[in-house]
Structure 1
Amino acid sequence: MVHGTHNAQEDSRNDTILISINDELFPRNEAKISVFDSGYLVGDGVWEALRLHQGVLVFIEDHFNRLWQSAKTVGMVLPFTKKELTQKVWDTLNVNGMTDDVHVRIMVTRGIKKTPSQDPRLTISGPNVVIIPEYKKASKVSKEKGITLFTSTIRRGSPDYLDPRLNCHSKLHEVQALIQAIEAGADEALMLDVNGFVATCNATNFFMIKNNEVWTSTSKYCMNGITRAKVIEVCKANNIPCFEKDFSLFDVYGADEAFVTGTFGGLTPVTKIDGRQIGEGKYGKMTRKLNDLYEKLIQKTIANG
């Protein structure tokens, strides 16, 4: 079985979900898009992932702010408002009868091309919008076990050619990093920035704990994760020292604890990096505390509707 931060409990209801493609609903095995789609041809698209908890799309405003920023960055005009996209998501959730423990993936590509090409001027349709809702509850077993990381030789790029903060479909460099990690026997990849400092992981944000201080990288070379931001927020609200700073593997190998963050898995402990045990090699006390504070923030968000 694949082990990592996206491990989910099996749920047979996913076999019969309906997927929205440009406001039309299709059964899972019939959901298709053209081979001339910009996202398929050249990775020209942006995306977001949301969690539905107890009837509430948690942190949706933060996610949509990031989606709109990503679209502006690549020069894509979204032909709908945030309110309208929210309704599209709810329409998809409602037709599937979904209310809890749901992961929603929203993908927006530039549209259909006249012919295979990078040139956006050859796009002959409006953006394609795909909404995939799935019943996905994070595996508690995987979370308790934690994950192992391997430091990839693939670096996070400089913002002057593909800004790491851009949540786009072009993820091949992260896939390459993950392949290196898997071949080295680890679960996921740790990635450095162009200066050799720790930046992020291939699909999650990285944190380390030393002497009860929480460290994470600067926001320059990593996806500005929503969960990452919320962990920083709860640290500040609870007087836990938290620093966004440059640090290297020298610091990481001597960490007391480490964890990664993501919309799906929340906080997941890291037990080993490059074969070296981190701290006691298990779900640490501070990581649990931060996880509890993050879960309380989610519950507060749910209560506020």
Structure 2
Amino acid sequence: MLTDKINMNMQYYNQHTYIFLNGDFVKASEAGTDLFGQSLHYGYGVFEGLRAYSTHHGIRIFKAEEHFDRLQQSCEAINLPYEWNKQQLIASTYELLDKNNLRAAYIRPLVFSGANMHLTAAASANIMIAAWEWGPYLGQNLLRVCTSSLERPNPKSFPVEAKVSGQFVNSILASNEALKRGFDEALLLDQDGFVAQASSENLFIEKDFKLYTPPLENVFPGITRQTVIELCRELHIEIVEKKLTIQEVLAADSAFLSGTAAEIIGIKEVDGVAYKEDWEHTIGASIQRKYKKLVLEEENYEVII
């Protein structure tokens, strides 16, 4: 069982922890929120997830610009005001890590709206950035995955390319269902019955020495997903974006998930069907090793960064 994922008592902050809030650094224990805000009542907010790594060049936030660009794009997708400068936010995030004495951390920017009980676009918004020590979200071991009874939200009803707070109720329900059934993670199908993604990660499968991943039509445009694609090009690994059936996923040689929080994590089995290929000899394992070297800056992949 994934103790990291189901541990509801994890301490994300203490009385000494700082957060960044609307341009200032304040104690997390002293920060408050408006109980009449749309973000609290309706999930009308957006967030991002970044990782900082301790490298031989010092503390580095992996693909910080891409993440803050996507934060702005998510706000624009749901008409949430965004008035912050990207470079200033990145600098403030590094300062936040320093204030909290963090060298390797997970970073959570959150844009949330103020008081408004109407179902109308927000007139103003706030930004908060927090950081804490957090290992790989899904742990280190190969995963047991099941097909969820829930579907990925329909892109015609919701901007699925945006990282919107309220959308992740779908992820919580799917993940919780999987855990209750004794699995580690869930795969969600789209409205047409094709495999979309896991609750909060993108999916890749290997078949006959090629990688396949669902197209962006109904999956989240993960930055780690794009990094995997870029690594494949650098390593001359053929990768194909196509709609996948659950039958194709079950018949694959191997499979893995990708995400900033989870990083690269292999799948042992789906719906009780185990992959026969030894993980250490798969393309996914090679990508996992290359990804770790990339984020730790142990190899020169400037073209990717």
User: Which TM-score applies when normalising by structure 2?
Assistant: 0.87
Shift of 1:300: 4.1
SS at match of 2:118: coil
How many Å separate the matches in 2 of 1:266 and 1:113? 36
Shift of 1:273: 1.0
Q: Write the letter of the residue equivalent to 1:96.
A: N
Q: Who is 1:169 aligned against?
A: 165
Alpha carbon RMSD of aligned pairs, Å? 2.7
Counterpart check, 1:118 vs 2:119: yes
Q: Who is 2:100 aligned against?
A: 96
Match for residue 86 of structure 2 among 52, 58, 82? 82
Cα distance, 1:7–1:243 mapped onto 2, change above 3 Å: farther
Q: Quick check: 2:293–2:299 contact (8 Å CA) kept in 1?
A: no
How many Å separate the matches in 2 of 1:229 and 1:245? 15
Q: Quick check: 1:101–1:137 contact (8 Å CA) kept in 2?
A: no
CA shift digits 1:94-138 (9 cap, x unpaired)? 22232x2111100001x2114x332236x5xx3121111102233
User: Which TM-score applies when normalising by structure 1?
Assistant: 0.87
* Alignment coverage as a number of residue pairs: 295
Shift of 1:71: 1.2
Q: Quick check: 1:51–1:104 contact (8 Å CA) kept in 2?
A: yes
Q: Who is 2:241 aligned against?
A: 244
Q: Quick check: 1:53–1:302 contact (8 Å CA) kept in 2?
A: no
Cα distance, 1:13–1:70 mapped onto 2, change above 3 Å: closer
Shift of 1:63: 0.9
Q: Write the letter of the residue equivalent to 1:72.
A: E
CA shift digits 1:153-197 (9 cap, x unpaired)? 211122221122111101112222222212221111101111111
How many Å separate the matches in 1 of 2:299 and 2:91? 18
Unaligned runs of 5+ in 1: none
Counterpart check, 1:68 vs 2:72: yes
After superposition, where does 1:146-185 map in structure 2 within 5 Å? 146-170=142-166, 171-185=168-182
Q: Who is 2:186 aligned against?
A: 189
Q: Write the letter of the residue equivalent to 1:234.
A: L
Match for residue 225 of structure 2 among 223, 228, 234? 228
Q: What is the percent sequence identity of the aligned residues? A: 24
Cα distance, 1:161–1:173 mapped onto 2, change above 3 Å: same
How many Å separate the matches in 2 of 1:151 and 1:296? 32
After superposition, where does 1:279-290 map in structure 2 within 5 Å? 279-280=276-277, 282=279, 284-290=281-287
How many Å separate the matches in 2 of 1:239 and 1:283? 19
Q: Who is 1:46 aligned against?
A: 46
Q: Write the letter of the residue equivalent to 1:256.
A: D
Match for residue 129 of structure 1 among 111, 127, 148? 127
How many Å separate the matches in 1 of 2:111 and 2:258? 24
Match for residue 56 of structure 1 among 41, 60, 64? 60
How many Å separate the matches in 1 of 2:293 and 2:163? 27
Q: Write the letter of the residue equivalent to 2:157.
A: Y
Shift of 1:150: 1.2
How many Å separate the matches in 2 of 1:281 and 1:273? 15
How many Å separate the matches in 2 of 1:284 and 1:139? 23
Q: Quick check: 2:279–2:285 contact (8 Å CA) kept in 1?
A: no
Unaligned runs of 5+ in 2: none
Q: Quick check: 2:35–2:115 contact (8 Å CA) kept in 1?
A: no
